Amino acid sequence: MKIAILSRNSKLYSTRRLVEAAEEKGHEAIVIDHLKCIIELEKKNPKIFYNGIYLDDIDAVIPRIGASVTFYGTAVVRQFEMMKVFTAVESQALVRSRDKLRSLQILARAGVGLPKTVFTNYAKDVDHVIESVGGAPLVLKLLEGTQGLGVVLAETHNAANSVIEAFNGLKARVIAQQFIKESGGADIRAFIVDGVVVGAMKRQGKKGEFRSNLHRGGSATLIELTDEEDTTALKAAKAMGLGVAGVDMLQSSNGPLVLEVNSSPGLEGIEAATNKDIAKEIIRYIERNV
């Protein structure tokens, strides 16, 4: 089987691990920079031209699409789907996951636990927004932020008011979200492949940091999910339509609360924390479907 990993950098840990796992299972693996693909549209004859050749012999693709290139990356994944190529992450699910507001609406409709969240279109009634999520402290997030960027903890009502008004003035769309104090600056990531939690880790933010992202100096340790956490993670991934997903949750007094469902979760942190071959699980998922 010939498997294409859609990635802009073949040296990235996740990309390398997927190539290794595919080759260990006897498959041919190639890395394709999706931004360099040329999409050709014709009645009942979709094609992708890349590095001087047509990609007409690919059996499956694993999208590793960065948030900043979601539009074109998703178009390439969609083109492969039109060519009847199996994709580990479907284009529509990828689009859903990258829209923070839309994904939270989908999760809420599916009955998944969430921190109380408010979104406005530059509303003037900032005080109501703050009080609607339980007052200060509260978390403010840019809709387009990733890896903890564009996330602010406003510790007082006045600070929250100032930040929201500043974002509004910049025409930057922002989400206000309830601050879950009891989580202690930590969250859980459950890694899901084909409807099964294949690994989970607890990520702890560095001292004085409420964000737990590993990119921001956080640490990760192995964790065994409770039944409720396991069920919540699977429900969230299913609601988003993702075959491969990283579900980020907070532990709260009201049970697990989902922060985000990531459609291109990194492998480095989860493999190190769990000592599991997560990349191989993704290849097995492809084998079951192709």
- The backbone torsions φ and ψ at residue 281, rounded to the nearest 5 degrees and listed phi first, read -65, -35
Domain spans, the chain: 2-96, 117-179, 182-289
CATH 3.30.1490.20 fits 117-179, yes or no: yes
Question: Which tens digits make up the pLDDT trace of 192-220?
Answer: 999 999 999 999 877 655 565 555 557 88
Cβ–Cβ < 8 Å for 253, 178: no
Question: Which tens digits make up the pLDDT trace of 3-25?
Answer: 999 999 999 999 999 999 999 99
- Euclidean distance between the first and the last CA atom of the chain, given in angstroms as a whole number: 9
CATH 3.40.50.300 fits 182-289, yes or no: no
Cβ–Cβ < 8 Å for 247, 238: no
Arithmetic mean of pLDDT, 22-37: 98
117-179 and 2-96 share a CATH fold? no
CATH class label, 2-96: alpha beta
Nearest in space to 191 (alpha carbons), one of 143, 261, 89: 261
Three-state DSSP at 162 gives helix
18-56 core/surface letters (b: 16 or more CB in 10 A; e: else):
bbebbeeeebebebbebeebeeeeeeeebebebeeeebe
Q: Bigger pLDDT: 169 or 244? A: 244
